[in-house]
Amino acid sequence: MARNFRIVPKKRGNRSTGSKWWGRVIEASLSAAALAVGCVGLVIVLNRVVVPEWRTNHQFVEHRCTVLDARLGEQKTEDGTLCRPEIRIQYTVDGQKYVVWTYSKSWQYSSNRAVEQAILERYPLGPEYVCWYDPADPSVAVLVRGYSLWFWLTLAMPASFILIGGGGLLHVVMTWGKSAERRAAQAQRGSPLDLLDAERAGAGFPCVPAPASVTNSPGTTLSYRLPVVAASGWKLFAAMVACLGWNGIVALFACVAISGFLEGRPDWVLTLCVIPFAGVGVAIIVYAFRYLLLASAVGPTLVEVSEQPLYPGKRCEAFVSQTGRMRVNSLDVLLVCDEDATFHQGTNTRRESLRVVEQAVYHRVEFDLRHGVPFEARFPVEIPAGTMHSFKSDHNEIRWKILVKGEIAGRPSFVRSFPVIVCPAANGSNGKVNGQAS
């Protein structure tokens, strides 16, 4: 035997060794089972909860009754004693007298004894009250109507099974016997959003992100101001939230541990558990404080370019403006291209990134930034000939961006990222003509 039979097949792409036919059969079976469970559950819920509650609210007949007795009905469970209000009423329908214990249609037991007792106190013995009886069976009556929370919760459960099962089954039926290419062709034909994106791209480059995302903000010095990928304000906010959240929880446990020591009853297990978490908390405080220092010293960074989209082998002009109040050891502007891949590993979705182009386009050392006087620089940027254009599909991406990196005296360095769109050259040579940059 040349190779062993795989019990657990490989799952990804062309390396998949599992049977697609069996995969589809199992998918269909699971979807059908979920749909069946949902349908059965829906019938039960309709029969037991929804229809009775609906009938109570719409078909029961209003009437008058007298309260004869009231008590808290009890039910013993593992978690303690549950109770519910039980009120004995008397009413007459068509000359026939009925005496029943009742309250509402759902009539659930609850652990909140005080609330249930308060309900009983609303029904002192003697006076007449409004009640509703079932015209189909006058021996059934209630003192309150309305829909309970259970009404919606119980509907949601079978509905979710029906949606998952039905959707899965529909997907199997729609794609059964169809090749990956046919499904892709049908999906592309039926996706107006893709066509719209292609239109928005303007230049009509499929799978190249629309330049509109980086050209919708005009610049003050050059034509286009580039958006920053991740604003430092949000990072600072996230660092502060993480710092407060983590240390708040750790502080609660630390208080309990310290009070144990003060009372002469130290809890060593709790103390030993709290110490590593407190260490992480200190690290988060240091990180957040460094970020706060950086954010307070480094002002906004602006990057503008003279053209968008850019083309391999073509040059454009760029402008950088940096505000703040600090001593800058070095400021670098880089043109970079990253490959990003998203993949499934087990039940997790992971993302990996690799830099394939990194080109310094501006470098300045040792200068001071003063309040109200921004540092400004203009310089040329050339997309290297023979490089790949921007590309984006569901799981793979090629991203071009301009990075501004600063080294600041006595503070952590900062990096800000500004996306640019690179389109392929019209002849597909990507900036090279006979091996030379055009």
Partner 1 sequence: MNGPLVRIRFDGNGRVYRPGETLSGEYRIESVAPDEIKAVEVSVLWYTEGKGDEDLAVHSFWRVSAENGDRSDPPRPGRFSTVLPRSPLSYRGILVRIRWCVRVRVFLTRGREVMGELAFRLGDVPAARAAGNGHREAPSEKATLA
- Restricted to residues 381-420, the positions that interact with partner 1 (CB under 8 A) are 386-389, 391, 393-398
From 354, 372, 410, 436, residue interacting with partner 1 (rule: CB under 8 A): 354
- How large is the greatest C-alpha to C-alpha distance in the chain, in angstroms? 106
- Which 8-state DSSP code applies to residue 47? I
- Which of 47, 353 has the CB closer to partner 1? 353
17 lies in the site for partner 1, by CB under 8 A: no
Distance CA 280, CA 274 (A): 10
Paired tokens of 404 = 């501004």
- Structure tokens given for 350: 């992971």
* Closest approach of partner 1 to the CB of residue 374, in Å: 29
Nearer to partner 1, 361 or 388 (CB): 388
CA 394 to chain centre: 17
> Of 4, 96, 347, 434, which one interacts with partner 1 (CB under 8 A)?
347
262: exposed, middle or buried (Cβ count in 10 Å: 0-12, 13-18, 19+): exposed
Nearer to partner 1, 4 or 347 (CB): 347
Q: Name the percent of the chain in helix, strand, coil, to the closest 5.
A: 35, 35, 30
Shortest separation between residue 432's beta carbon and partner 1, angstroms: 7
Give the residue carrying structure tokens 């089972």.
Answer: 33
Does 199 participate in binding partner 1 (rule CB under 8 A)? no
In a 3-state reduction of DSSP, which class is residue 361?
strand
How far is 303 from 294, CA to CA, in rounded Å?
A: 19
Name which position in 96, 181, 220, 269 contacts partner 1 (CB under 8 A). 181
Looking at this protein, which amino acid is placed at residue 214?
A: V
User: Does 348 participate in binding partner 1 (rule CB under 8 A)?
Assistant: yes
> Taking the complex as a whole, how short is the minimal distance between the CB of residue 205 and partner 1, in angstroms?
4
With CB under 8 A as the contact rule, the residue among 103, 132, 133, 205 that binds partner 1 is 205
Is there binding between residue 332 and partner 1 (CB under 8 A)?
Answer: no
Q: What does the radius of gyration of the chain's CA atoms come to, in whole angstroms?
A: 35
Among 182, 327, 370, 378, binds partner 1 (CB under 8 A): 182
Q: Which residues does 301 contact at the CB level (< 8 Å), separation at least 6?
A: 228, 320, 321, 322, 404, 416
Question: Which of 13, 126, 190, 410 is close enough to bind partner 1 by CB under 8 A?
Answer: 13
Residues 6+ apart with CB under 8 A from 154: 45, 49, 50
C-beta of 383: minimal distance to partner 1 in Å? 12
- Of 12 and 58, which has the nearer Cβ to partner 1? 12
User: Which helix (H) or strand (E) covers residue 169, if one does?
Assistant: helix 149-175
Name the one range near partner 1 by CB under 8 A: 69-77, 82-90, 138-146, 355-363. Answer: 355-363
- 188 interacts with partner 1 by CB under 8 A: yes
The amino acid at 309: P
CB 405 within 8 A of CB 294: no
With contacts defined by CB under 8 A, name the span among 62-70, 165-173, 323-331, 332-340 that binds partner 1: 332-340
- Pick between residue 109 and residue 343 the one whose CB is nearest to partner 1: 343
User: Among the candidate windows 131-139, 241-249, 380-388, 413-421, which touches partner 1 by CB under 8 A?
Assistant: 380-388
Looking up tokens 């909860």 gives 49
Residue 206 is a binding residue for partner 1 (CB under 8 A)? yes
What would the 3-class secondary structure string for 75-115 be?
Answer: EEECCEEEEEEEEEEEEEECCEEEEEEECCCCCCCECCHHH
Question: Rounded to the nearest 10 degrees, what angle do helices 268-297 and 232-262 cross at?
Answer: 150
* Minimum distance, C-beta of residue 288 to partner 1, in the bound complex (Å): 20
Q: Which two tokens stand for residue 315?
A: 């040059």
Q: Which is nearer to partner 1, 20 or 97 (CB)?
A: 20
Number of residues that bind partner 1 (CB under 8 A): 57
Among 51, 99, 184, 409, binds partner 1 (CB under 8 A): 184
Of 247 and 387, which CB lies nearer to partner 1 in the complex structure? Answer: 387
List residues binding partner 1 (CB under 8 A).
12-14, 21, 179-182, 184-185, 188, 203-208, 336-337, 339-344, 346-358, 386-389, 391, 393-398, 423-424, 426-430, 432
